[in-house]
Amino acid sequence: MTSTPYRKPFFVSYLSRALPLVALLLALPVHAQEAEVPAVVPKPVKLMTLSSEPVTLQRQFFGQVTARQTVDLAFQVGGQLEVLNADEGTSMEVGALIAQLDLAVYERAVAQAKANFDKAQRDADRLASLRGQAVSDVSVRDAQTQLQLAQIALDNAQADLGDASLRAPFDALVARRLVPNYQTVSAGTPVVRLHDVSELRVDIQVPEVLFRQAGAGDNVAFEAALPGDATRYPMELREFEAETSNVGQTFNITMAFTESPGAFVFPGASVTVYASAEGKVPDGIILPETALVFDPAGAAAVMVFAEGTVRQTPVEIELHEDGRLYMTEGPEEGTQIVVTGASQLSDGQPVRPFTRIGE
């Protein structure tokens, strides 16, 4: 009789294989088996401080540095350039020679005009001495006319000789050479561009509404900030265009630095202009509509910020004739509340003050 081999029961075989895995799981730390609870991230919010003091209104504009004036110098006569003393980025004192044409042709013209004038002078003197004898009065007057024409021709030749040289009309900064040296130029062709940087200015575009408000009072202060420079430089209003631009209904306003903004600030540099003005003293604490939260019964409240959380606090409000909401009862002055998005917060929710984008 053949004997049947002994086989372990299935559950015994399975248990013998599973025991090492169970022992490994039991050996793991307890905290590894527990589910991690996500941390609550405070929501960034914009805050305002309750106050009945006058609010400083501030606006920010972007503009460019400009020179007091910019001119393109050109000869009033034509010829070949012989001198071009205009290295870009250099300063030139008033009266300094910047460019000059070949003067030989103009010097010859002056010499010829001078010779013609001398001859006309001799002829006029000779005929005047013979008047009443062999020379008529008409001949004398004709000689005097020729003398006058010779004088005009001499003056024109000397003026052309002077126009063959260009000199700095003011203490200037050479911005750009517009033609190369030794090139033949015609009258009126720009040769060099000069900036008058005796006073640096800034042009900004101001909307019509703000322009009227600024013109209504003299308590508007202007400051300028340059890229990479934390200093704010005071500015003064110099002039404005008395008509709006074709697009945007804005006025072009020109400001001037009252003190030097430092070296290497040239026309074309970008600048930010801050305009600030003291507002009127309010009749109480003004609340923006975005700071209000209403319950189903219509009662108003604000979200008060304290110690990293917000608490919903009831307030009493009134709508005045100026269209603003004034708080008659509620938190005291100096309390910080959420100014925008208060309706999206819940009582006791962790928040943090919003400072800038990206934080």
Please check whether residues 248 and 317 belong to one and the same domain.
no
**Within a domain: 247:** yes
Question: Over 50: is that where the pLDDT of 32 sits?
Answer: no
64, 68, 356, 67: which is closest to 224 by C-alpha? Answer: 64
Please check whether residues 231 and 263 belong to one and the same domain.
yes
CATH code of residue 348: 2.40.420.20
**Within a domain: 229:** yes
Among 214, 243, 278, which residue terminates a domain? 278
Which residue segment(s) compose the domain that 128 sits in? 103-163
**Within a domain: 5:** no
Question: Over 90: is that where the pLDDT of 320 sits?
Answer: no
Please check whether residues 202 and 274 belong to one and the same domain.
yes
Residue 15: the pLDDT is: 44
Please check whether residues 273 and 286 belong to one and the same domain.
no
| Helix, strand or coil, per DSSP, at residue 300 | strand
CA distances from 16 to 21, 22, 25 (A): 10, 11, 15
Encode burial over 224-261: b for 16+ CB neighbours within 10 A, e otherwise: bbbeeeeeebebeeeebeeebeeeeebbbbbbbbeeeb
Among 111, 139, 163, which residue terminates a domain? 163
pLDDT in tens, 175-188: 999 999 999 999 99
Please check whether residues 237 and 306 belong to one and the same domain.
no
CA distances from 227 to 29, 242, 261 (A): 55, 30, 12
Among 163, 180, 213, which residue terminates a domain? 163
Residue 281: the pLDDT is: 60
Please check whether residues 206 and 270 belong to one and the same domain.
yes
CATH code of residue 128: 1.10.287
Mean of pLDDT values over 195-221:
77
Q: Domain count for the chain, please give it.
A: 3
Beta bridge partners of 174: 194
pLDDT in tens, 259-282: 888 888 899 899 999 988 766 666
Q: In whole numbers, what is the pLDDT of the chain averaged over residues?
A: 84
* pLDDT band at residue 165 using 50, 70 and 90 as cut-offs: very high
**Within a domain: 242:** yes
Question: Over 80: is that where the pLDDT of 100 sits?
Answer: yes
Please check whether residues 270 and 126 belong to one and the same domain.
no
